[in-house]
Structure 1
Amino acid sequence: MRKKPQTLDTKNFLRAANIEFDSTAPENLAHFRPTRKSIELFQQLANFDRSESLMITGPYGTGKSITTAVCLHWLENYTKDSKALLRCIGQRIGRLNRTVAETLQARIDSRSKLRGLVITLHGYQPDLPKAIQAGIAASYSRIGQGKKAGGIKRREVHTFDDVKRLLREIEKDQRSFGIDKMLVVWDEFGRHLEKLVELGSASDLNDVQTLAEFIPRMKKVPVRLAVILHQSLQTYSGTLNKSLLKEWAKIEARFVPIDASQDGPELYGIMQDVVESLALKPSYLATKTDAKKYLEKLIEESVFEDMKAQECSRLFGKPLHVDPLVYFCLPRIASRVAQNERTIFNFLAECVDTEDVNLSAVYNYFSVVMQHDTSPGGAHQLWQQTSSALTKAQSDMEIRVIHNCAILTMAKIKVTKKLLKWAVGGQSNRSGALKAIQKLCASNVLHHRQFNDEVILWHGTDAHIREKITETVDSYRGSFDYVDFLRTEYALPILRPVQHNDKYGVNRYFRSYFCTPLSLQKPESLELESNERIIPGDGAFLYMLHDKEDDFCALKNLSKEYTTQYPSHIVVLNKKLPGLFDICLQLYAVQVLQRNENIKGIDPVAEDELRLYSDDTRGELQRLLKQVVTPTQNARFVSRGSLFSKINIHEFRVWISEIADETFSKTPRLFCFSLNRHKPSSVMVNARKKLTASILENSNLPEFGFNNPDELYEYSNMVGGLYRTALLGSGIYGEVGKGEWRFRLPEEISSDNPGLKQAWKKVELFFTEPTGTPKPFSDLLGELKSPPFGMREGLFPVVVACAMRTFSTSGVLMHGREYLGDVRPTDIEALCKEPTDYFLEVVKLDKSEKAILQGLTVLFPSGVTIDGSEPDELRLLADGLYEWKTALPRLCRVTEQLSKGTLAVRAALLEYENPARLITRDLPEVLRVPKGKRPSSMEVISSIDCAKSEIEMIQDKTLKRVASEIREALQVDIDDKCLREQCKAWSDSYTSFPDTVYSPKAKALLTSLSVNYDSDNHLVEGVTAVVDAMIRSWDDRSFDRFRVNIHGHVREVLEGACNAIKDGSNP
């Protein structure tokens, strides 16, 4: 049994504490009743050893101020009355926390002269530095340091820098005055915020931010700054602009939040002490049995769920004048709306003459405050709804029902019909309460959400939402497709074969869909890819939705037939779910009304009502569909024409893996999880490009150079990791002999990885098996993606790059009809992304054609040798032809001064579509080989060599013609001297004249002739560049143009020299 409480001084108990006023009157705090929350607050404000800034929030009446006032007396510890108060309070604290009580008592009994300073601020402070100065002086006075206090009062303190100097001075006085702690407490800080907003001076809060940042940096004397509010700081900023809101949020972040709200058995006990001390009227419940039965029903409805039943019975198990629900709801209501002196205990004091203190009394007491609580998330809307409902009540019982529903809703309790019945009717009048509830629901004053059993206040809308929903349901009933609706509305689970994935290093999964018997008969109606791209090969679970008249045996036969045709699909059969169609139709009707702007215009709260209907319907739909997707004894699974039954999750998961093993029996084991997926991340794609570049360019290096620290640094550890997992770890690449690193052929792959062996063989056949027409890469990649391989697209670029460096082939890679000569990583990425646009033509060359190919690779050598790093001889020829074409001067590529046969050969070599057709079709045509007659490979190579030499000689012939023309223009044909010396001597004879006598063209010619060249060809190139154009860009008409220009330039030189001689400038 709970002990009878001591007689309370009710007048003092109900009086609000004031930290500043009660600092010299400890007797005003004698009624303090500690709770666990107040003890925690005491620890934060008094028993600390490091500096910190705190923001304490809690509604009125929760003991913030009185706890802080007790901390003041404990810290300053300056009078006998204070010590007497603290000893009394220490005994009360000891019943809850012996350790804190011992700490409190030790400071009281200590003979040490250590004292603390408590600087008190209250409400709005227009001059914060002055207020802090006054608070410091007052604290020094209370601890008996009047002289020091007088000195502080006489100080000039105007700015916050003065305050910081004053606080630093306290640190220096630590030893002189025995200061061991300092507390700066600002009570009613919310009034300061409200005044700043009212005056439009919200930015003045920066001083508080500075104080909150400065105090934690004080080390010699631990200091705590505590601002006390009734709500969060952001609550006071409702009318501020966004920039100030951000500024206030930043200031709030400087404080450590402390929630001082009281709850739990201790508070209920204090409330009962007040009730019994006030000698309230007879009990609310007639007998102790009634009280016990009533409590049992409340506990069943999750009221007092944080208390044990025994503890609840001890507190409320006897006949009381106050309804136990009042004790439960009062703290919650007060924490939301009690922002003035209407506290919990004021309410109890005002109920002295009330016969029954119930939730109606609570509503009437807080009604005015609820009306004016218009802040975001406030209680004004609930008050408005309640007031509207009260106008339609026709009896006192109905009024009580509405009051109870409003208060329970505000206390954030789920108001079930049973809870409301017991709260209103108690043990004696439950039938009357139930009738009132039913009547209010029938008249649309209350609304019972049947799916989750919750009663809410209805808004009295004139739109008759229920009737509108019924009308909409009736209008769509004939045409509504609930299966199609569920596909878009309900997200079915993705099922993963976990054991299969772990075994093969893949992330395989099965998607889920709803289906009907008709969709199995017409698979095209399933539209599995209507909403999002379906990964081919992984399969799907089809959950059958059927009507009760459907024959279950017929459904099984239909499912067996379907899954035989589509082996990667599994059909799930369940018993019919009654009401599923109606639930879906009702939800669809609500959604239609939510999109109807006319409904919103009739009543502004109609949108909220529709949202409630939507939430209820969705909850019921979730409950029904959970029965469909969860394996039970009633569920049957049809796969590959066979029927299975899985009754628990474990069996079901094992079975999914078995299906995946059977469907994808040739899956390669590649434990490269970052690439072994259909859509790798962008970071992995970039690393994959670097890996393919290394495969294409560094195949001749052991391990592609990844064992070289310099190479690894260039490609990053991520690329090296992909190499080790995708290639080295899988066995597709490695050391096959002593120091020999290369790609393995399919027959060399380990038999422990049969899937990789068979997939690699499939790739080999694609790259080496000749066909009559080009093969699209979509054939290869599509086969690898599909069962039984089921490879992921993320690996395809690496596979293609490896194949190009592994298999010796006479193949031609084409993008559309264009031959890809230089294959880059970006080309491989594009190939794997759009495989239908890329083709490989594998050509079967006979012995003669192979000899021609090898001879041409010798005639047109490339930078890559046939040493295994480039097995594609056709690509070697293409590279050699490209390098030869690039090195040819333009004149050799465009001149017509060749024999007819050479012109044809040049056109074939420079304009071929692909190297295979060059050998098999283009060269025989240009060499005029009669049909049916085949020249020997030596004859073809010899003809091409002759044509090649003739083409290359054009440039040499042109250089000689140009040199001869320069001699003729300069008239310097002197024997025993090379052209360079002749031109140098000629230019020297004219460069002695001043530059001003020559035109720009003449000076350019003289400059070019006076350079010391290494050869006559370099001289020709220099002169042609000045006179006409660089000789590499010449065509057949360029020589005639040069001849005219060179003679013109020489003429200008001669004219300049003659004019200089006439003018007497001859040196």
Structure 2
Amino acid sequence: MLNVPLSDIFQVKGRFRRSVHLERDFYTENALDGYVLTATARDTLSRVVSTLENEKASKAWSLTGPYGSGKSAFALFAAKLLGDSDAPTTQQALDLLKRGDVSLYERFTTTNGNGKPLSDFCPVLISGERSPLSIALLNGLENGLKSFGIPSNSSLPKKIRKLLKITANDPPLQASEITHLFESATLSIKKKGGRGLLLVIDELGKFLEYATQHPTQGDMFVLQTLAEFADRSGKTPLFLMTILHQAFELYAEHAGKSEQEEWTKVQGRFEDIAFLESTEHVLRLVGTALEKRSDVVGKDILKPAINLGLKPRQFDENEFIHLLENCLPLHPTVALLIGPIFRRFAQNERSLFAFLSSSEPNGLQDFLSLQHYKSSFLPTFSLADLCDYLNTTHGNRLYTSQTGKKWAEIESTITQLADPSPMVVRLIKTIGLLGIANEPIPNLKASEELLYYALDDNTEEFADEFKRTLSTLKRRSIITYRSYNNVYALWEGSDIDIEVRLRDAAAHIDTKVALATDLSRYMPTNPLVARRHLFQTGTLRYFAVRYTDLENFDTDLREPLGDEDGLVLYALPASEKEVTKLIEKANDSNAENRKEVLIGIPRSIGLLRDAVTQLAYLHWIDGNTPELDGDAVARRELSIRMIESEREVSNRLTEIFGDNSEDFCTWYHKGQPTGINSTKARNTYLSRICDDVYNETPLIRNELINRRKISGAATTARKKLIQAMLENGDQENLGITGYPPEMSIYRSLLWNTGVHREVESVWGFHPPKIDDRNRIAHTWNAIEEFLEACESDRQSVVDLYQQLKNPPLGLREGPLPILLCAVMLHYKTEIALYENGSFIADWSMPVFERLLKAPQQFDLKRFRMTGIRTDVFSQLLQMLNYRVETEKTDLLMVVSPLMRFIAQLPKYTLGTQELSDNAKNLRKVIQDAREPDELLFKQIPKALDFPSFGAETATDENTVSDFFNTLQDALSELEQAYDVLLNAIEQMLVKAFNLIPNREELRAELADRAEPLFAVTIETQLKGFLIQVCSGGHDFTSWIEAIATYLAKKPPTSWHDIDKAQFEINLSQLARKFRHFEAISYEKRAHAESPTGEPIRIGITRPNHPEQEQVVTLSSTAEEQANKIEHEIEQVFDKFDVDGNSEFRLAVLARISQKLMQEEE
């Protein structure tokens, strides 16, 4: 054969592809195919035969052994063997017995004395489940009698069915009743020609676990009475065989002391049989399971196993070689190690057969599909391959075992190497796995010879590569050689032994810490969602989950909720007495009044307590072992142990409070038990709670907006929708076109609910329709009720939001501003909005943007117009040019225009004191207004020196008329104040420049005078003024404002009174400069064609005298003479010793100039 897939050569027999199910497989003809009668099975069967030989021998056995050790398979074999003697499967079992043990076969077939086998027992076969054992016994007995041919309409089956019907609702049966049924059954079997009853309870541990959670069920006493009856059952015996994975008493280790004593009594009624299989058994099982389709060359790999001393003593060489050959393509080292390794880490035979037959990654089937038989060389499944398989299938569970440190060392050693070769990786895995196995049989250890044997791939270069790799790893201290026992081992990368630290933790941790405290610390809970309620209402509601205990129950029950809609309390008892007390608390009035709270009370928490304690130990190690920071191997081992420990705690919590919780926990709501029996039932009940607590919740099926915290996209869409509501409320769809996100929100909240609809051909915002299918009316009414409360005093928007979020409405934050805006727009003439205490007259989008961001800064108030104030109000409306519609009149129709009027006044008008007292007082009260009704009927009258207009005040018509005249005058004065300022500026210009007092003429005159001055001045301020004066394109008001802005450095709309005074000073100074340069310009133009020099202006100003000025020029012909005179004058000054005294010289020259100008005049 050349290049043939191994999957074409090797196959696993079908019988080994699934685990045994006692009740199903008993009625399957080929269920015993491939069964191997092991030494343990033969010994156990011998005890059964001895009982048939001696009626006084024990007839109740407990088969105890690890998962997958063959107990169920043996029970199936025994049931077949003891069954109907005429059945083919019984003969098949006899043949297996004869081939496996001739002497035992002869005892079994000759004891009866008539040559017939000791069969014809009625089988009562029960597979374990977490339920009452008594019910399983009744069901099993009914099925067994039926299979044995007992008519179903006979008295005994009828009685069984009657009792099953009773136990469905009533307390459990007494143990004596059940035992009496089995006694009656033996009599029926005897009459039918049978030998007795065979009762097999597979996986009894599941029933025992249920019994620990339900101690009142009496299941343990049923076992005791049945075992006692079996032992005294005589010539028509009851054989009772139970199958356990661990010692009987371990199932009761979390029960109370009295219960443990009772369990000990029950265990004493059974003869315990340890069901453990040897290496020989595993080799035979594997050899039997593997089927070869052709004769395979590869036996040369078997002989070295003997040379290496791997043969157990009980085998001769030929038998050993034969067993190893049957196990091919497993390498002999794997065949010898696989039994002990699976016994340690898995379910023994069950995991063994999963490894052989399943398609798990790195398993045997995977290996067979990838490898090929080439040129007489058979690839074998090696120890390194087995290491990969265990890592793949068991993962983190390997690290939680006592050898977790060694598994971490394998991974850490490989990980720290940079690009290791396949040989390096396989060698490390082989050494590591052998170290973990710890020489389960002599010489199966990591010696150099065995490593060579385990890794040899039959290539020419293997020997050199193996020696080189081994040497390199040793030199680099990756592996170490222990000469005293000739073993290689991985270098221990960790000095921390987690097992030792666990013992340290146990010594330091206070075991009296409440379980609820530890769970809260180490296993924070996730909220539970009321899913059905979400689907029906569109509102996501979730329940907080808290752990509590008897001491803290009342406090946790009273603690208010945060953002959660409800609370699930896991009330954890520390004892049976506390269970009773917690139930009393769950039934009292405090719990009854908390409709949003669901309480779960376990019947027992022993296994959960152990799991949490283990987790607490690991956290203690983490917090009290600083060496972990530098120890990657130990850190990984601890991390994986913590993950697995958390998973174990989670599984225990799920077992108690999740699926099948009726077996472990009772749920209470409003002081009554609920009948919740599963996770699904609990989740359904959470929705029922929400339906009850939030029974007025509107149906808002829009995930975009119906949230506590909406997304950025939803926030933008909400803003756009509110803007459309403010601006386009009278349009269909609010003017929104297409289908942007805001349209989706609009449809869900406003259109579907009828809040925005067309009434009398006009679109607007209205209360919901009568057929309120979306249940929005409750919300609308709640907002209206809140507004009614706002008539006496302002109320915070935050308070409204909180009311809408509380039961029974339970709205989310997302829709609240939209619904509030809709109601406000409907009652726009009646609602006042305040921001930080200040009245907001105009509901603009910027205002609502601030409300969206900080609703706590906004208040609401509602006003209604009644009584005598209507007369005053009507005249106010007329004054403001409103058409009076009594049914729609409201204070805001007056207040809003007044507020806007003041807000739109120039800053100058808002600050100037150049107003009458009435105007100033009116301006102040409107600026400071907080309450519209106070403003109109108290503050404005008082500002204008009139009495208040109270609701009960009798005011005559003359007073009202005088009030409105005075108000009109004050408003007019405020409105005209800025125009008065501009007129004043105009008059200042006329006076400063001696202009014609006519707007158009004075502007043209000043511009004409200014134009020539551009040629004679470079002075910055004057030149800028000239530009403003000569600029065109403005109306007169803008021209005046531009000049005023230039000289005052700010626009007149923003002036204060002091700015006006400063403008007048600046204008006077600039006008003087203007006139000076105007004179120079004039002289220059006058002598433009004469040969004169540059014009010079001379000006003299004295107190109490008019200013004197003259522009003079010096001709070029007189220049020389002027220079001489200038020189002589300077000599005169020098003569009188006035050198350096410029002020004196200027004064003398000024006097001379004054006299000359007087003479000129």
Q: Among 900, 914, 920, which residue is 1:903 paired with?
A: 920
Pairwise CA distance, 1:307: 6.2
Name the CA shift for 1:298/1:767 in 2 (closer, same or farther; >3 Å): closer
State the match for 1:400 in structure 2. Answer: 444
**What does residue range 185-204 of structure 1 map to in structure 2 within 5 Å?**
none
Cα deviation per residue 1:447-497 (whole Å; 9 max; x = unaligned)?
Answer: xxxxxxxxx999697655333322322322245333122124335454333
Matched to 1:306, the amino acid is: S
Distance in 1 (alpha carbons) for counterparts of 2:1033 and 2:852: 53
Distance in 1 (alpha carbons) for counterparts of 2:560 and 2:429: 47
Pairwise CA distance, 1:609: 4.0
Distance in 2 (alpha carbons) for counterparts of 1:601 and 1:539: 42
State the match for 1:574 in structure 2. Answer: 602
Pairwise CA distance, 1:816: 3.7
Q: Among 492, 507, 514, which residue is 2:547 paired with?
A: 514
Name the CA shift for 1:733/1:492 in 2 (closer, same or farther; >3 Å): same
**What does residue range 501-580 of structure 1 map to in structure 2 within 5 Å?**
501-523=534-556, 534-536=562-564, 538-561=565-588, 562-580=590-608
1:1052 aligns with 2:1070: no
Pairwise CA distance, 1:770: 4.1
**What does residue range 288-437 of structure 1 map to in structure 2 within 5 Å?**
297=349, 300-306=352-358, 327-329=380-382, 332=385, 375=419, 397=441, 399-400=443-444
State the match for 1:814 in structure 2. Answer: 834
State the match for 1:495 in structure 2. Answer: 528
Q: Among 874, 884, 904, which residue is 2:901 paired with?
A: 884
Q: Among 579, 583, 592, which residue is 2:620 paired with?
A: 592
1:1033 aligns with 2:1054: yes
Tell whether the 8 Å contact from 1:980 to 1:1019 is kept in structure 2 after alignment: no
State the match for 2:747 in structure 1. Answer: 724
Distance in 2 (alpha carbons) for counterparts of 1:390 and 1:299: 19
1:674 aligns with 2:670: no
State the match for 1:744 in structure 2. Answer: 766
* Aligned partner of residue 540 in structure 2, secondary structure: coil
1:839 aligns with 2:846: no
Tell whether the 8 Å contact from 2:595 to 2:689 is kept in structure 1 after alignment: no
Distance in 2 (alpha carbons) for counterparts of 1:325 and 1:543: 59
Name the CA shift for 1:33/1:385 in 2 (closer, same or farther; >3 Å): closer
* CA radius of gyration, larger in: 2
1:774 aligns with 2:794: yes
Q: Among 703, 707, 714, which residue is 2:733 paired with?
A: 703
* Aligned partner of residue 542 in structure 1, secondary structure: strand
Distance in 2 (alpha carbons) for counterparts of 1:846 and 1:370: 90
Pairwise CA distance, 1:576: 0.7
**TM-score, normalisation: structure 2:** 0.53
1:622 aligns with 2:650: yes
Cα deviation per residue 1:145-164 (whole Å; 9 max; x = unaligned)?
Answer: xxxxxxxxxxxxxxxxxxxx
Gaps of 5+ in 1: 1-5, 7-30, 38-266, 317-323, 337-365, 412-445, 447-455
Pairwise CA distance, 1:775: 1.5
Cα deviation per residue 1:496-551 (whole Å; 9 max; x = unaligned)?
Answer: 33332222122222232222122222237x8687xxxx424x21211221123325
Tell whether the 8 Å contact from 1:813 to 1:839 is kept in structure 2 after alignment: yes
Distance in 2 (alpha carbons) for counterparts of 1:871 and 1:482: 66
Tell whether the 8 Å contact from 2:595 to 2:670 is kept in structure 1 after alignment: yes
Pairwise CA distance, 1:885: 2.9
Distance in 1 (alpha carbons) for counterparts of 2:573 and 2:643: 25
**What does residue range 627-666 of structure 1 map to in structure 2 within 5 Å?**
627-632=655-660, 633-634=662-663, 635-666=665-696
Distance in 2 (alpha carbons) for counterparts of 1:391 and 1:277: 27
Tell whether the 8 Å contact from 1:461 to 1:605 is kept in structure 2 after alignment: yes
Tell whether the 8 Å contact from 1:515 to 1:545 is kept in structure 2 after alignment: yes
Q: Among 803, 806, 811, which residue is 1:791 paired with?
A: 811
Name the CA shift for 1:571/1:272 in 2 (closer, same or farther; >3 Å): farther
Gaps of 5+ in 2: 9-289, 304-316, 329-334, 340-347, 370-376, 390-409, 456-486, 1089-1161
The farther-off stretch of 269-278 and 588-597 is 269-278
**What does residue range 212-361 of structure 1 map to in structure 2 within 5 Å?**
273-275=296-298, 282=318, 284=320, 286=322, 297=349, 300-306=352-358, 327-329=380-382, 332=385
State the match for 1:209 in structure 2. Answer: none
State the match for 2:929 in structure 1. Answer: 912
* Aligned partner of residue 522 in structure 1, secondary structure: helix
State the match for 1:927 in structure 2. Answer: 944
Pairwise CA distance, 1:999: 4.4
Pairwise CA distance, 1:867: 11
* Aligned partner of residue 832 in structure 2, secondary structure: strand
State the match for 2:777 in structure 1. Answer: 757
Distance in 1 (alpha carbons) for counterparts of 2:432 and 2:301: 35
Pairwise CA distance, 1:844: 4.9
Name the Cα RMSD after superposition: 5.0
**What does residue range 61-140 of structure 1 map to in structure 2 within 5 Å?**
none
Distance in 1 (alpha carbons) for counterparts of 2:296 and 2:790: 99
Distance in 2 (alpha carbons) for counterparts of 1:761 and 1:1002: 70
Tell whether the 8 Å contact from 1:993 to 1:1066 is kept in structure 2 after alignment: no
* Aligned partner of residue 622 in structure 1, secondary structure: helix
Distance in 2 (alpha carbons) for counterparts of 1:335 and 1:651: 42
1:694 aligns with 2:716: no
* Aligned partner of residue 726 in structure 1, secondary structure: helix
Pairwise CA distance, 1:271: 11
State the match for 1:76 in structure 2. Answer: none
Pairwise CA distance, 1:567: 1.0
Name the CA shift for 1:730/1:1065 in 2 (closer, same or farther; >3 Å): same
Distance in 1 (alpha carbons) for counterparts of 2:353 and 2:906: 95
Matched to 1:758, the amino acid is: H
Distance in 1 (alpha carbons) for counterparts of 2:356 and 2:540: 47
Pairwise CA distance, 1:571: 0.4
Distance in 2 (alpha carbons) for counterparts of 1:733 and 1:1013: 50
Tell whether the 8 Å contact from 1:483 to 1:545 is kept in structure 2 after alignment: yes
Cα deviation per residue 1:549-573 (whole Å; 9 max; x = unaligned)?
Answer: 3254432221122421311000012
Distance in 1 (alpha carbons) for counterparts of 2:673 and 2:605: 21
Cα deviation per residue 1:1010-1036 (whole Å; 9 max; x = unaligned)?
Answer: 556786545543443444464333443
Name the CA shift for 1:274/1:511 in 2 (closer, same or farther; >3 Å): farther
State the match for 1:126 in structure 2. Answer: none
The farther-off stretch of 272-281 and 550-559 is 272-281
* Aligned partner of residue 595 in structure 1, secondary structure: helix
Distance in 2 (alpha carbons) for counterparts of 1:325 and 1:540: 64
Tell whether the 8 Å contact from 1:1008 to 1:1023 is kept in structure 2 after alignment: yes
Distance in 2 (alpha carbons) for counterparts of 1:621 and 1:856: 76
Distance in 2 (alpha carbons) for counterparts of 1:272 and 1:490: 58
Pairwise CA distance, 1:1003: 4.5
Tell whether the 8 Å contact from 2:515 to 2:609 is kept in structure 1 after alignment: yes
Distance in 2 (alpha carbons) for counterparts of 1:393 and 1:740: 87
Matched to 1:884, the amino acid is: F
Distance in 2 (alpha carbons) for counterparts of 1:586 and 1:953: 86
Distance in 2 (alpha carbons) for counterparts of 1:994 and 1:370: 92
State the match for 1:68 in structure 2. Answer: none
Tell whether the 8 Å contact from 1:770 to 1:844 is kept in structure 2 after alignment: no
Distance in 1 (alpha carbons) for counterparts of 2:535 and 2:1083: 100
* Aligned partner of residue 587 in structure 2, secondary structure: helix
Distance in 1 (alpha carbons) for counterparts of 2:322 and 2:572: 56
Tell whether the 8 Å contact from 1:777 to 1:840 is kept in structure 2 after alignment: yes
Tell whether the 8 Å contact from 2:568 to 2:599 is kept in structure 1 after alignment: yes
* Aligned partner of residue 748 in structure 2, secondary structure: helix
* Aligned partner of residue 572 in structure 1, secondary structure: strand
Pairwise CA distance, 1:666: 0.9
Tell whether the 8 Å contact from 1:385 to 1:457 is kept in structure 2 after alignment: no
Matched to 1:744, the amino acid is: H
- Size of the alignment, in residue pairs? 703
Tell whether the 8 Å contact from 1:590 to 1:610 is kept in structure 2 after alignment: yes
Distance in 1 (alpha carbons) for counterparts of 2:966 and 2:1010: 51
Pairwise CA distance, 1:980: 1.6
